[in-house]
Structure 1
Amino acid sequence: MVQIVGKYNHVKSENLDEYFKKLGVPYIPRKMMCASNPTLEISKSEDGSWTFTTTTAFRTVSYIFKLGEDYTETMPGGTLNCKTTMEDDKLLTVCSAQDGTEMTRTYVFTDDGLTITYKSKEIEAIRYYKRA
């Protein structure tokens, strides 16, 4: 199994602006998120809790969760109810917005980095990261 815990630096994105636009993220936060080059740090505690910390020039956000348990994420477009599961070298996060919109994030880890695929019913975007 590939190492998941670690620090990752953003390399490039595909279709991210259109993805956030379809989800209804307001213009200014959307443009700020798309222009950012986030660093993602992933850690795991002894009790099985995972911490994902995303750092940009604009803000730092951390989410703590346990696999298979519900948790909440606060995004510029609103609050999401999420659950993350693991399969092989992938983490799958399924989230639903207050309006019922469902979206997924699939985290695929390799020895060199991480790819996050964002999907909603109508659109997909990808962010690529290199292991720091």
Structure 2
Amino acid sequence: MAQMVGKYIHEKSENLDEYFKAIGVPYIPRKMMIASNPTVEVTTSEDGQWSITITTLFRTVSYKFNLGEEYEEHMPGATIKSITTIEGDKLITQCISPDNTHTTRVYSFSEDGLIISYKHEESGKEAIRHFKRV
């Protein structure tokens, strides 16, 4: 099983613009997010709480959660309800936005890095971001 805890730097993205359009991200924030090279840090605490922190030049977002329990992600303009589970070398996050839109993020870990796959369930649009372990 690959080590999940660690720090990862962005290498490349695939189909991110189409995915962000599908989930309703406005033009300027979408272009800013696409141009960013985020760093992702995954940690766990002794009490079993997980944390995923995403840092860019524009902002830092941190999600803290316990596996299998609902938590909130605060985005500009919306609060999303999420549940994250673990399957092998993957953390899988199911999200429901206030307009009842469903998205899935799959964090796939390997010894070399992390791949985050995004899927907007209603449109079927998908995107992938590749990260290298630091």
What is the CA deviation profile of residues 7-65 of structure 1, one whole-angstrom value per residue up to 9, with x for unaligned ones?
00000000101101111111111111111000001100000000111110001111110
Secondary structure, counterpart of 2:25 in structure 1: coil
Secondary structure, counterpart of 1:11 in structure 2: strand
Verify the 8 A CA contact 1:24 1:77 in the aligned structure 2: no
Distance 1:73 1:8 in 2: 21
Q: Which amino acid aligns with 1:127?
A: R
- Structure 1 runs (4+) deviating above 4 angstroms are none
Secondary structure, counterpart of 2:20 in structure 1: helix
Aligned length: 132
Counterpart of 1:103 in structure 2 is: 103
Name stretches of at least 5 consecutive residues in structure 1 with no aligned partner. Answer: none
Distance 2:126 2:50 in 1: 25
RMSD after superposition: 0.9
What is the CA deviation profile of residues 87-106 of structure 1, one whole-angstrom value per residue up to 9, with x for unaligned ones?
00011000000001000001
Distance 1:76 1:34 in 2: 16
Name stretches of at least 5 consecutive residues in structure 2 with no aligned partner. Answer: none
Are 1:112 and 2:112 counterparts? yes
Q: TM-score, normalised on structure 2?
A: 0.95
Distance 1:98 1:116 in 2: 23
Secondary structure, counterpart of 1:100 in structure 2: coil
Counterpart of 2:128 in structure 1 is: 126
The sequence identity of aligned pairs, in percent, is 63
Q: TM-score, normalised on structure 1?
A: 0.97
